[in-house]
Copies of this chain bind each other. A is one copy, B any other.
Amino acid sequence: MPPKTPIPGVNHLIAIGSGKGGVGKTTVSVNLAIALAGLGYRVGLMDADVYGPNVPLMMGINATPRALGERIQPLENYGVRLMSMGFLNPGDKPLVWRGPMLHNVIQQFLRNVDWGELDYLIIDLPPGTGDVQLSLIQTAPITGAVVVTTPSDVSLEDARKAVNMFDQVRVPILGIVENMSYLVCPHCAERIDVFSHGGGRRTAEMMKVHFLDEVPLAPEVRVGGDTGKPVATRGADDPQAYVFIQMAKKLVDRAREVSGATTGPAFTVED
């Protein structure tokens, strides 16, 4: 295995993964990044889903990044520095690259982007446990991973695979997030467990990993993503934003715990 070279200036690398696609991994990544920035941290978000990069749409920004010498300048919105294949390949043209080319792009996103000083670099992984995920995890000094799932058995089946993948390559699990946890009917205010409920927490207990939080299936969250104004931008008075702000605080605690555990019991200086 190649050595895990640190990324100068970046304190914590947080990978957001999922076994299955469409569970809201990018929604969680985007809102966590914005919530962390709102808490005063310096945050970057790297969209490693090179085939279906949805970060530009969700973050409401799309432009061609400038190069300064050999370094690519990240874009920025809502206080978060951003890099995505969507900035380099806008429009509807599919990328049908094979593994080795992807590996190069990911490495460039990590190493050749001028991230500057960051407390957290959030990496939105592609779904699954394939080439791209493996290359990245093997070469980047990742503090820990968040695994996103819905409560459906089909999604949980794949989430367990993702937890085991991180485990195999010794990346600590910061926690499981249960997304689309339940829906509150906007007409009658009754609760609907569209994709079932509670499987995220049960899976976390079963696999002896932390459970971070459940995120309700709120149409506002989807609209926020589709319109480039994620709910986390609304601040703590908004109930949907509040969920992500709380999750961001737990993430900070978990990242601290996990780094403490791996670097020894001594105190660590943050910021």
Contacts and interface: CB of A to CB of B under 8 A. Distances in A.
Interface in A34-93: 51-52, 54, 57-58, 92-93
A8 B162 CA distance: 37
Given A26-B154, A154-B26, A222-B152, A188 B190 contact: yes
Contacts of A93: 161, 164
A232 B62 CA distance: 42
Interface in A151-187: 152-155, 157-158, 160-162, 164-165, 168, 183, 185-187
Contacts of A188: 185, 187-188, 190
Interface stretch (A111-119, A191-199, A249-257): A191-199
B168 A194 contact: no
A269 B96 CA distance: 36
A202 to B, nearest CB: 14
Given A51-B129, A185-B187, A188-B187, A226 B154 contact: yes
Interface string A187-228: 110101111100000000000000000000101001101100
Contacts of A219: 192-194
Residue among A187, A190, A225 with max Cβ neighbours from chain B (10 Å): A187
B94 A165 contact: yes
Contact residue range for chain A?
35 or more
A194 B165 contact: no
A220 to B, nearest CB: 11
Given A127-B127, A168-B94, A158 B23 contact: no
A222 B150 CA distance: 12
Nearest to A228: B153
A21 interface: yes
Nearest to A207: B92
Given A128-B52, A152-B222, A183 B190 contact: no
A86 to B, nearest CB: 9
Contacts of A130: 51, 95-98
9 contacts: A19-B51, A52-B161, A94-B165, A96-B129, A97-B130, A152-B226, A188-B190, A194-B222, A195-B222
